[in-house]
Structure 1
Amino acid sequence: MKIKFLSVIASFFIVSLVITSCLDNDDNIEYSPDATIRAFVLDTIGYGVTYPFTIDQLKGEIYNEDSLPVRADTIINRILIKTITTAGIVTVKDQNGNDSILSLSDSIDLSKTINKGAPLVLKVWAPDMQQTKEYKLWVNIHKHDPDSVSWKYMNTNPSILNNESLKSVILKGKIITYSGSTSLKVHTAPLNNPTAWSTSAMGSDWPSGQPLTSVINFKETLYATSGDNHAFKSSDGINWVAASFPAANGDGSVVDLFLAAYDNKILYSRIAGEARTFYSTGSDTETGNKISVDSDDLDKFPVKNISYTLHKTSSGMRGVMLVGEPKEPTTIEGSNSTKINTTETWAYMEGASGWINLPAGSINSYCPELKNPSILYYNDLFYLFGEGFNGFYRSNSGRDWKLATKFNFPQVDWSKSGANHTIATPEFRGRKNYAMVSDTLTHNLIFMFSGGEASFTEKVTVAESTKETTDVTRTYNYSSEVWSGRLNQLWFDLANSGK
């Protein structure tokens, strides 16, 4: 990889003698004192990708601002320097501490330089062999896969009892979580610090013994429905007053669910007997405009555990994507003509006449039926998940779904001796009662769990030679925990922006 430095000096000396002997005494050759590196390029990483390196001439540092992928350390421990542009020669220290010329034809080990480790010192000798300059070379590598999620334990909330139903919403910089069904409690924590929770009883104006069936935030006021189909509003999430939403044509219907909220309208549904109708409001909530749902699909529209997310199309149009539990699940035909229950999303575009359903296009691109489903629009993709926490399903359009591979919940390697759910090695699979909010500023996903016993089944390989598998049931207990998760790529983006 290197040529002994002494031989190089000798070569330069011989060349200088030859040149001097061939010239008149009046001709003086002046060699450049330039000892700078003007370009530095490593060989390609992974799938032929070249990562640019920054040369800080003042500090004498060379580094890549765009970090190399996770596991690139197995590449840079034997990699070529493709380009190093300088007027003179470059030397490095060999194993004995002697200066040796750097050869671009041999690989070099940069593994010790990773993320501000021990730098590789490059010494540049100017053509005049008098001026020198040293550069410290570091290689930055992502510690986490950008497409994976990092999870952080925030706290345990003992005020949330085991096996309680949960619903959460963000209001005025706070997370508000409602637990229970017949005796509601209100748990509040700062959105930027979901470790310090306070708990109080639901205000006395909330109907006694009635669960909270839906809740949305519209203009920093919460709107919620109770199990007996009454609508309320609140400025603090604890104390409530009746909310008036007039019915079109006085049809005698009552508000049964708040579905979603833009910054200028609320989308909701009304019910009269078994008949259900759908509306949007103006910005004052005092006017209701009826919107359509195809009558053939009414039984597939969600009737409980509503979740929605807002998004924008490439043309700038705002939309709502909604999911929940319907009266009748949508099915898709599987092998042997079997019917498979699926989770179906519903879309509403600003200015549209109504809701449209988005059934899966094929057996190869569907999301299975989820209990208590949630939907996210996150990093320009839609994600679905639900109780059981078997994984996230992702989609570009909200119609066709695939199980995400790297974007996932924490899982324990149960094949290891003594494996179990702990704070250090968390497991989410099998959990039931939960609530989730998304902080759009920091991209944090905050999960609240009602504790209990979790049970799930996973496939385990029993014969490596044949790859034969069997189903094994795992069971563990967990507390009423609070967790925060964030896509690593978004964390990198925030860090680079200085936020």
Structure 2
Amino acid sequence: MRKLISIVFSLVSISFIFTSCLKNDDEETTYSSECVITSYKLGTLNKYRTVTASDGSDSIVKDTVTGSNYKFTIDQRNLTIYNTDSLPVGTDITKVVATIGVSGYSVTFTRNDSILTYSSTDSLDYTNQMQFTVHASDGLASKTYTVKLNVHQTYADSLMWSSSTVSNFPASQLENMKSVYHDGKIIVFGQKDGVLMMTEASADDTNSWSALAAANGISGTADINNIVIFGGKIYIVAGKQMYVSDNGKDWTAVEGSNNVNRLLAASSYEIFGVVDGNFASYSNNTWVVEGNTDIENLPETCVAFSSKKMKHNATMEKVVLTGISENNDSCGVVWNRISAEQAYARQGWSYLPNEYINIYALPRLANLNVLSYNDELYAFGGAGKMRSTSIDALSGLYISGDDGITWKTKTKKTTLPEELEGVTREFTAVVDQKHNAILIIFKNGNIWRGFIPEIYIK
């Protein structure tokens, strides 16, 4: 009996083993169909730039760019890969090494009609984009991605220009023009038949301007060279009376300011002018007379000013005054002074005599405009001269990085549009502080916008 049971058990065991073996032979290994690029990172790239020596000769300098600092977007729907922050101007994308992260079996690319397996050590030319194909483990599925490297075509610190033309520009009726930025708007002032007029446009849309409007509340002739912005309000002088406005159209006489000859400039703390033939400063509703040294050299026309905080003390500001003086027929005039929150730290005006001691003095240009932009002063204008040297209209942008002491032209990155060289039409210029851009507004409605990309505010 035991022998029979043993035989039966053995037969059953053999049958089980045989069945199990058959089952394993029927099973198939399943391979993944996943084929996705999950990450893309650049290695170190070369960048080339041109350097101009003091003698005017150019040389090529090689720098490096840390590619890993530039993040890439992977669009899985459209199978595209790109960098939203462009690589610097001059970056060499003909020899690019990149690390590609994938979920799949392999990555291939095509070069010279040959299909090659990609390695993270491969140096490839991305000039005309690159395509990478990810192959799945199943040997069937695949996806082809297009990679584009975006590179700045212009230097981020270059001055870029664009233009537009306004039809029936209201300011075309004005005899003179002066523009200011105020409360998100660009306001153009001027005279028409001896009356102060204004038109304005939103800084967001300088193609749409309001109809000309006469200034209300002003008695006498207002000189647009006297306009200053102080404490969020606009000030002007007419008939020795100082007026204030919230909008440039409606004006109110300022009490205790009826003997003001002219306004010169303003800082965050004071208005500067001439009262009874003397320099004076205005704050807390009071004028303080300061003296009249060199006052005969003040600019009478093309008056402009800037005021910026000093680096060593944020409660102090350097004020620079520029313009054209009848007493100087060789160059423009420059004044400066220190303004401060604390009265004891304030300093009076200093005249910078540039006629003979400074070979880089401010030129004497018709319709001279001086703007504060990118922590420098930009000067340009119509035809004029620098001592005995003639200068064509709008032929150069003179830049001062030392608060008006020296003025030099830059021929590479920071220039006026070539299209404006020799143009003699009347214009006014202003800095659009909302977008950090320069506006050159011509009387015929042609408006040029200039900006440096790295500081431009869209």
1:80 is paired with a residue whose SS is coil
Alignment of 1:81-160 (within 5 A): 81-82=96-97, 84=99, 90-96=107-113, 99-102=115-118, 108-113=124-129, 119-121=130-132, 123=134, 136-146=146-156, 147-160=158-171
Q: Give, in whole Å, the separation in 2 of the partners of 1:352 and 1:211.
A: 28
Relative distance call for 1:235 and 1:318 in structure 2 (3 A) is same
Indicate if the aligned counterparts of 2:96 and 2:126 stay in contact, CA closer than 8 A: no
Per the alignment, residue 40 of structure 1 pairs with: 42
Per the alignment, residue 346 of structure 2 pairs with: 352
1:346 is paired with a residue whose SS is strand
Deviations 1:129-159 (A, max 9, x none): 9998876422112244431222231514443
Alignment of 1:464-483 (within 5 A): 479-483=444-448
Per the alignment, residue 469 of structure 1 pairs with: none
2:207 is paired with a residue whose SS is coil
1:323 is paired with a residue whose SS is strand
Q: Give, in whole Å, the separation in 1 of the partners of 2:181 and 2:152.
A: 32
The partner residue of 1:190 within 202, 211, 217 is: 202
Question: Where does the alignment leave 5 or more consecutive residues of structure 2 unmatched?
Answer: 1-34, 49-61, 383-392
Q: Give, in whole Å, the separation in 2 of the partners of 1:85 and 1:200.
A: 61
Superposition deviation, residue 364 in structure 1 = 4.8
1:429 is paired with a residue whose SS is coil
Superposition deviation, residue 196 in structure 1 = 1.8
The partner residue of 1:409 within 411, 416, 419 is: 416
Q: Give, in whole Å, the separation in 2 of the partners of 1:349 and 1:210.
A: 26
Indicate if the aligned counterparts of 2:437 and 2:450 stay in contact, CA closer than 8 A: yes
Superposition deviation, residue 238 in structure 1 = 2.4
Relative distance call for 1:303 and 1:49 in structure 2 (3 A) is same
Q: Give, in whole Å, the separation in 2 of the partners of 1:124 and 1:35.
A: 10
Matching of residue 233 in structure 1 with residue 212 in structure 2: no
2:128 is paired with a residue whose SS is helix
Q: Give, in whole Å, the separation in 2 of the partners of 1:432 and 1:288.
A: 39
The partner residue of 1:400 within 402, 406, 417 is: 406
Q: Give, in whole Å, the separation in 2 of the partners of 1:346 and 1:138.
A: 51
Indicate if the aligned counterparts of 1:158 and 1:480 stay in contact, CA closer than 8 A: yes
2:331 is paired with a residue whose SS is strand
Relative distance call for 1:123 and 1:257 in structure 2 (3 A) is farther
2:360 is paired with a residue whose SS is coil
Per the alignment, residue 219 of structure 1 pairs with: 231
Per the alignment, residue 302 of structure 2 pairs with: 305
- In the superposition, the TM-score normalised over structure 1's length comes to 0.65
Per the alignment, residue 368 of structure 1 pairs with: 363
- In the superposition, the TM-score normalised over structure 2's length comes to 0.71
Relative distance call for 1:266 and 1:62 in structure 2 (3 A) is same
Superposition deviation, residue 298 in structure 1 = 2.6
Relative distance call for 1:214 and 1:376 in structure 2 (3 A) is same
2:181 is paired with a residue whose SS is strand
Query: Could you tell which deviates more after superposition, 341-350 or 213-222?
Result: 341-350
1:140 is paired with a residue whose SS is coil
Matching of residue 441 in structure 1 with residue 434 in structure 2: yes
Deviations 1:336-358 (A, max 9, x none): xxxx5344343433232212234
Per the alignment, residue 24 of structure 1 pairs with: none
Matching of residue 384 in structure 1 with residue 383 in structure 2: no
Indicate if the aligned counterparts of 1:410 and 1:428 stay in contact, CA closer than 8 A: yes
Q: Give, in whole Å, the separation in 2 of the partners of 1:235 and 1:57.
A: 50
Indicate if the aligned counterparts of 2:181 and 2:187 stay in contact, CA closer than 8 A: yes
Indicate if the aligned counterparts of 1:162 and 1:480 stay in contact, CA closer than 8 A: no
Relative distance call for 1:171 and 1:82 in structure 2 (3 A) is closer
Relative distance call for 1:124 and 1:309 in structure 2 (3 A) is farther
Alignment of 1:43-82 (within 5 A): 43-46=45-48, 47-52=62-67, 53-55=70-72, 63-70=82-89, 75-76=92-93, 79-82=94-97
Per the alignment, residue 281 of structure 2 pairs with: 280
Q: Give, in whole Å, the separation in 2 of the partners of 1:268 and 1:44.
A: 55
The partner residue of 2:190 within 179, 183, 190 is: 179
1:299 is paired with a residue whose SS is helix
Relative distance call for 1:396 and 1:131 in structure 2 (3 A) is farther
Superposition deviation, residue 309 in structure 1 = 1.9
Question: Where does the alignment leave 5 or more consecutive residues of structure 1 unmatched?
Answer: 1-32, 114-118, 248-253, 331-339, 413-426, 451-478
Query: Could you tell which deviates more after superposition, 183-192 or 98-107?
Result: 98-107
Deviations 1:67-89 (A, max 9, x none): 234465xx43xx22345477997
Per the alignment, residue 466 of structure 1 pairs with: none
The Cα RMSD (Å) is: 3.7
Superposition deviation, residue 49 in structure 1 = 2.3
Superposition deviation, residue 100 in structure 1 = 0.8
Relative distance call for 1:40 and 1:487 in structure 2 (3 A) is closer
